[in-house]
Structure 1
Amino acid sequence: MLIPCIRVKILYFTIIVVTAVVLASGCDKKNSTPEKDTPFIDNHEKASDAVRNMKLGWNIVNTLDATASYGMDSETSWGQPRVTRELIRAMADAGFGAIRVPVTWYNHMDEVGNVDIQWMDRVEEVVGYVLDANLYCILNVHHDTGEGSQWLHADLENMDSILPKFDTLWRQISVRFASYGDRLIFEGWNEILDSKNSWNFARDKKAYDAIDTLASTFVTAVRSTGGNNVGRNLIISTYAAASGGVSWAPTPDDVLEGFSLPKDSVEDHLIVEVHSYDPWLWGADHGKWTASCEQTNLAMFSRLEKWFTSKGIPVVIGEFGPSGGDSHSIEDRAEQAKYMRFFVHNARERGIGLFAWVNFMDGLDRMTLNWTFPDLAEAALKAWYGDGYSLPESGFTPSAINVRFDNLWSEYCLYLGDGLDMREYKGFRLELAEAPAPGDFQIKMQTQAQFHGETTSPDGQYPRIRNAVSEILFDKTCFDGDILWNINLQACRSDVSASVKRMALIRNDGMEEEISTGLDGAHSGWGCTIVSVSR
């Protein structure tokens, strides 16, 4: 849902303050000697040094940037738990040197850009976790941009409504963080698109002029708030955070040719950001990491060198990851690890900053501090630090997962994976800390086709949960095939809670296979929140 913008006019005043020193009371002005302006001494870390010192970075994925609800519950509305100090500390202990904190603001502000104070407090709290861990922190404006009805577009025709709101937002952020040190870096926007929602390059060529206007406004707004913002390093993203190389664009590097950094009152405090998921969707069909994949990425690095780093302009790749690589199989993750090693190694060799958009710790694992994808995390960090690196052990196995179901029919994932063959399993056992009230919960089980709504007859199996310990047998007449896709605990009324202690599949021979709930930590479901875990 888009918050409507109202057209406002802002009168910008330029206030020039002239300070004179009067040496004696009643001194004649024409005989006095004005003191020369004290020159600005830039003691702030240069942008080029900051990028070099960041090391490998990580994005807090799908959390403060989530948009499935308004208000403070939005942080957990995409299935992730609230960010904790312990999560950030675990990332620091593993060797990550920086955290990008993507934040969506539109669902926390009014029509003219005034941010809800509770949301600003929460953002500041998370930024504090990062800085307290002695990490660099990038704070941005995230899903206010992008495809659809977002308010922040590179749309020159509507700058009269966009620009005042953008300016208001960044002045508030800047004032709140003006006293924070150089390890905090601001990123003006995420993946900004034109009014046509064009990816990779702008079909509306005025969009590049619009970005110039927004970039200038961003820099001016931050610098004008004083404090450490006078010399703070700032990030300007290209159109759509794209890196060129598009064969169907007017020219392959159209998006880079149309980009320019804004004027700044200080030198070497601006950074360029792009994103890269090349080759796009290579992992969607169990792709292999090949020489062709490597050449695609080497071409991207060459473009960044041509347009930026060879000219002394520092660059960060604010998002990267194995595109389409959502499979959890050992074979597919081995290919994804090859990608991680190659990409990180080549970025490091070229002095380019990197922030992985990969859920190394995901969902429940963020609370228990277990690695969801330890092989991918270790591959990336080993590429940065060398073959002698090993991922530190962390985390614990919870005795219970305490879940709050906020909405009617909201669901917590007990099992969701690559497919459970019901010819090998006859059911499962679910253990809760206590028996639910009558009518609170049921189980939702479906095949992949049923899950995606491709078939509605039959629609799956929905047995009620009445006891603390339930043994559920599969009724194959409820399914359109033998491969089960999901097993969810579903609320039959809103505002109910459950403590999940154990989930085990029952094989045909009666043996039990215990599994981790919540997609092995990757997602908790929808409409529910993991409130806490019990040790």
Structure 2
Amino acid sequence: MRIKKLKLLIATAMAMLMTGNMTAAIPTEPVTAQTDAAKKLYSYFVEQYGQKTISSVMADVNWNNTIAGKVYKLTGKYPAMNCYDFIHIYVPNQGSNGWINYSDITPVTEWHNAGGIVQLMWHFNVPLTETTEVKADGSGVTCTPSETTFKASNALASGTWENKWFYEQMDKVIAVVLKLQEAGIAATWRPFHEAAGNATLKSGASWGKSWFWWGYDGADTFKKLWIAMYDYFQQKGVQNLIWIWTTQNYNGDSSSYNQDTDWYPGDQYCDMVARDLYGYDADKNLQEFTEIQTAYPNKMVVLGECGKGDSGEQGKMSDCWTKGAKWGHFMVWYQSGQGSTDTMCSDTWWKDAMSSSNVITRDQLPNLDPSKVEFESATQAVKNMGVGWNLGNTLEAYRQTETDMTKAAYWGQQDVTSETCWGQYVTKPELLKMFKDAGYGAIRVPVTWFNHTDIDGNIDAAWMKRVHEVVDYVISQGMYCIINVHHDTGADGDSFKSWIKADATSYTNNKTRYENIWNQIATEFKDYGEKLLFEGYNEMLDSYNSWNYASSNTSSGYSAAEALKSYNAINNYAQSFVNVVRATGGNNAARNLIVNTYAASHGYGTWSTHLAEVLTKMKKPSDENSHLIFEVHTYPNIENLTSAKTEIDNMISGLNTNIVERLGCPVIIGEWGTSNVDKGVGKTDYDVRRSDMLEFVDYFIKQTKATGIGTFYWMGLSDGLSRTFPAFTQADLAQKMLQAWYGSDYNPTLPTKDSYSDATISCTVNYTDQYGEFNLVQGINAADYQYLRLELGSAPAANSLQFKIYGDTDTDKVEAITNKNKNLQLAGLGNITRITLQLLSSAPSSAKINKVYLVKKDGSKEIAEPSVFWGCTISDVEVVTGIQNVTYKPADNDAAIYNLSGQRVTSPTRGIYIRNGKKVIIK
């Protein structure tokens, strides 16, 4: 707002009406703001942009909250923001003679502490001449170019009096801004406003000039001034500002004025673009908003100033919003009474704005102080998760060649290709979208770290980047995501040794490394919102590999003393985890954190009196915010379904008594399934007792939901190549889970592999070991097929590749591959466990697979699902299909038969069909 004379020459004619659609290209990071407070404030602006407009008022070019108080007295609500001007920063002896003492930031901190957002601007006054004395009464300065010999171009020239003044005054402002920064206050910053003034007038006139000295020497000089200020603030350590540049647009009249885009400093120098409007009705607001948004599509567009003008009242915010002028925020100029115009909006205008559902007032702001993050409670988070699933055998997969953790070779044994070393494919965002679309609300992403760190626990940057990508796949779908430290714990075997043990010595030796890993993870994600949760460790066992409860596997039998040491170690690890995450600040101050019981055991069973110790010996980590969740795992045997249901009921009862009631924390079952979930293709409960499995899943989900326990199913539902399509491998099981949660009428979208009947897959197999094997198909009955078709990128060298067939007999069969294309005849091979592509040569090599599929007895094709077996990795995976996904629809229990495209068949011929949710073969 110009201070000494009327500045606004507002045209009343508009050329055309334009639409006000919001852009989707707003950067997620501010150009310079790096403090936690500034990043959080910027994120809030981005979040609200296009949803609501944030209210603000000018503090009568003073350092107080008086005008905001008047708005509160009138409407019962404070504006969300209050704007403070550095207009009198030049006055000598700050605070004397009734002038503002800018070093006293109390008015600003009071506003901030009351929950308000701080705005800053600067009417940058300069001396009238080089020799003018700037007096303690405030005289001797101006902003108006006609009243001063101060030249903007000289302000950038070293040795000039203008340059000296320019930097002296910036130093004064910077000192105050840094004081605010130290106090944890971030602010929007609008310097050098309205630079173009009337300078873009198409035909010359005496008033076709800039209004302020910073614009008087033209666009190029102005941009240099802006960049000089920006760089100088950066140099001095200012990192708490969100920069706003003010456009003049067409000065409201594109027939008389050009756009002032050549005055724009550049995307890298500002976060928002503002426009100052006085007396503009809703239609004119829309035109201005749309023109500016079109010119600067990747910036938030805001109403930098508004109020009454010569043409009357400013358009009501409710009308502006309805028209489509969805300003990011508005700032009403104070009651100055300049010229003939009182710029303060009327009481009616204010009452409309502050009661509008599209306007945010101070009482509606979230807590934007990063040191006082307000996340949903742990209990509410668990309730909101809905049905969860584990993205298993993926980021937690590992292989070890060195098992001695005291050696450097134990650490960092793999690169990012570890993701596929257990047979899964590289995770794609489409998989997580499929789960979201189906109705799942949370994904647990197990992650193993030791194979991607050095001996001190410093995480490989490429691995952290990959974990970050997968987390983003989940979070971008609006689902909850849990990441953890997974197979760094677990039982030791001949080929694997975990480094985290529920053991006092382990804790002492590994505490620094463990905390270093969590410090890096927490720092990486500290700005993420409440839907990202951290889980401190997975299934941590004692040094004896004791499952179920500590000391159960000692050679001399259970020892209460040894068990207590293990439980103390678990509690110590849990406390270290909480401490280090909280210390990273940001949103981690209130993030919901998960700690597991010993071995993630659930504590129920009748075969030992020590089982419940995993719950009763568990302590609640000290945590100021108490955003804590406890986790257990369960895989009951369902051969006797009645007994399995009783076990579920008793398990839930024990968790409620020993965790929920005793420790005051909610519980999730981070992994669950049945006891033979890893039995193998064709041998799990899902395969051999499907109806019991479905009934068990229904009961499990309903009982846990009723008692407020969250659940994450382990691994099934979508597995292998189906994750790449993506498709569900157990669609009926997924449907049963979702209907148990949402109700029997819930009809989820569940694409299956059969939705991609014409799909082809290509990939590259990278062999790392002689005799390494790559799965081509698994779990088929050869009687259903003619042959397996393999098409390679080139003919293999002699004696380098062969088919290896695992079947019913003890003797595995092999068949050499000598040509580029090969049909493996399947007649007489019976039930086949797997067919692999095996490397015979000792030198590492690769094989390009262009296509691999099965040909059924009727000549139709069935896509194979190749995957890593051992001694190789997979890359360059592509699945191509021209068939649209079809939704899995379970047949009614009426013996109706459906083909694999979901079409009902009255007279089926030979082939594979679906009846009552089960595969049937018509011969």
TM-score by length of 2: 0.49
Say which SS state the counterpart of residue 142 (structure 1) adopts: coil
- Paired amino acid for 1:170: W
Task: State the match for 2:486 in structure 1.
Answer: 142
Does residue 65 (structure 1) correspond to residue 396 (structure 2)? The answer is: yes
Contact kept in structure 2, 1:322 and 1:339, CA below 8 Å? no
Task: State the match for 1:339 in structure 2.
Answer: 696
Task: State the match for 1:464 in structure 2.
Answer: 817
Q: How many pairs does the alignment contain?
A: 478
Partners of 1:56 and 1:393 in 2: how far apart?
15
Query: Pick from 870, 877, 893: which aligns with 1:532?
Result: 877
Q: Deviations over 1:478-515 (max 9, x none)?
A: x9xx65432222234433223253433576xxx54644
Q: Deviations over 1:20-66 (max 9, x none)?
A: xxx999xxxxxxxxx99999645222111111111111111100000
Does residue 96 (structure 1) correspond to residue 440 (structure 2)? The answer is: yes
Does residue 406 (structure 1) correspond to residue 780 (structure 2)? The answer is: no
Task: State the match for 1:168 in structure 2.
Answer: 516
Q: CA deviation at 1:469?
A: 4.0
1:439-478 aligned within 5 A: 439=798, 440-448=800-808, 450=810, 458-472=811-825
Partners of 2:807 and 2:498 in 1: how far apart?
35
Q: Is the alpha carbon distance of 1:339 and 1:530 closer, same or farther for their aligned partners in structure 2, counting shifts above 3 Å?
A: farther
Q: Deviations over 1:293-336 (max 9, x none)?
A: 11111111111111123354211110001220445475533322
Partners of 2:826 and 2:595 in 1: how far apart?
56
Contact kept in structure 1, 2:724 and 2:879, CA below 8 Å? no
Q: CA deviation at 1:235?
A: 0.5
Partners of 2:832 and 2:469 in 1: how far apart?
41
Does residue 82 (structure 1) correspond to residue 440 (structure 2)? The answer is: no
Q: Is the alpha carbon distance of 1:127 and 1:152 closer, same or farther for their aligned partners in structure 2, counting shifts above 3 Å?
A: same
Q: Deviations over 1:75-114 (max 9, x none)?
A: 1100111111111111111111011110000101111211
Contact kept in structure 2, 1:518 and 1:524, CA below 8 Å? no
What's the RMSD between the two structures over aligned residues? 2.9
Q: CA deviation at 1:213?
A: 1.1
1:117-516 aligned within 5 A: 117-148=461-492, 149-203=497-551, 204-205=562-563, 206-267=565-626, 269-279=627-637, 282=638, 287=639, 290-311=641-662, 312-325=664-677, 326=680, 328=682, 331-394=688-751, 396-397=756-757, 398-407=759-768, 408-417=770-779, 420=781, 424=783, 428-432=787-791, 434-439=793-798, 440-448=800-808, 450=810, 458-472=811-825, 483-493=831-841, 494-504=844-854, 511-512=858-859, 514-516=861-863
- Paired amino acid for 2:847: S
Task: State the match for 1:4 in structure 2.
Answer: none
Q: Is the alpha carbon distance of 1:220 and 1:330 closer, same or farther for their aligned partners in structure 2, counting shifts above 3 Å?
A: closer
Q: Is the alpha carbon distance of 1:505 and 1:142 closer, same or farther for their aligned partners in structure 2, counting shifts above 3 Å?
A: same
Partners of 2:437 and 2:856 in 1: how far apart?
38
Say which SS state the counterpart of residue 432 (structure 1) adopts: strand
Partners of 2:427 and 2:516 in 1: how far apart?
27
- Paired amino acid for 2:620: L
1:24-63 aligned within 5 A: 41-63=372-394
Contact kept in structure 2, 1:61 and 1:357, CA below 8 Å? yes
Q: Deviations over 1:142-199 (max 9, x none)?
A: 0000111211111113322111111111111111111111111110000011111111
Partners of 2:440 and 2:611 in 1: how far apart?
34
After superposing on structure 2, the runs of 4+ consecutive aligned residues of structure 1 that deviate more than 6 Å are 35-40
Contact kept in structure 1, 2:500 and 2:506, CA below 8 Å? no
- Paired amino acid for 1:87: L
Task: State the match for 2:119 in structure 1.
Answer: none
Percent sequence identity over matched residues? 34
Contact kept in structure 2, 1:364 and 1:530, CA below 8 Å? no
Over alpha carbons, which structure has the higher Rg? 2
Q: Is the alpha carbon distance of 1:189 and 1:433 closer, same or farther for their aligned partners in structure 2, counting shifts above 3 Å?
A: same
Say which SS state the counterpart of residue 370 (structure 1) adopts: coil
Say which SS state the counterpart of residue 351 (structure 1) adopts: coil
Q: Is the alpha carbon distance of 1:362 and 1:484 closer, same or farther for their aligned partners in structure 2, counting shifts above 3 Å?
A: closer
- Paired amino acid for 2:619: S
Say which SS state the counterpart of residue 610 (structure 2) adopts: coil
Partners of 1:64 and 1:151 in 2: how far apart?
18
TM-score by length of 1: 0.82
Does residue 517 (structure 1) correspond to residue 848 (structure 2)? The answer is: no
Partners of 1:374 and 1:465 in 2: how far apart?
39
Task: State the match for 2:248 in structure 1.
Answer: none
Q: Quick check: 465-474 or 308-317, which moved more?
A: 465-474
Contact kept in structure 2, 1:360 and 1:373, CA below 8 Å? yes
Q: Deviations over 1:420-462 (max 9, x none)?
A: 36xx479624141655233342111133553xxxxxxx54233
- Paired amino acid for 2:570: I
Q: CA deviation at 1:403?
A: 3.4
Q: Is the alpha carbon distance of 1:178 and 1:473 closer, same or farther for their aligned partners in structure 2, counting shifts above 3 Å?
A: closer
Say which SS state the counterpart of residue 50 (structure 1) adopts: helix
Q: CA deviation at 1:413?
A: 2.3
Say which SS state the counterpart of residue 803 (structure 2) adopts: strand
Q: Which runs of 5+ in 1 are unaligned?
A: 1-22, 26-34, 451-457
Task: State the match for 1:3 in structure 2.
Answer: none
Say which SS state the counterpart of residue 179 (structure 1) adopts: coil
Task: State the match for 1:20 in structure 2.
Answer: none
- Paired amino acid for 2:801: F
- Paired amino acid for 1:402: C
Partners of 1:169 and 1:317 in 2: how far apart?
24
Partners of 2:379 and 2:833 in 1: how far apart?
48
Q: Quick check: 301-310 or 341-350, which moved more?
A: 301-310
- Paired amino acid for 2:634: S
Partners of 1:500 and 1:490 in 2: how far apart?
17
Q: Is the alpha carbon distance of 1:465 and 1:310 closer, same or farther for their aligned partners in structure 2, counting shifts above 3 Å?
A: farther
Partners of 1:353 and 1:327 in 2: how far apart?
28
Q: Is the alpha carbon distance of 1:426 and 1:95 closer, same or farther for their aligned partners in structure 2, counting shifts above 3 Å?
A: closer
Higher RCO (CA 8 Å, separation ≥ 6 residues): 1
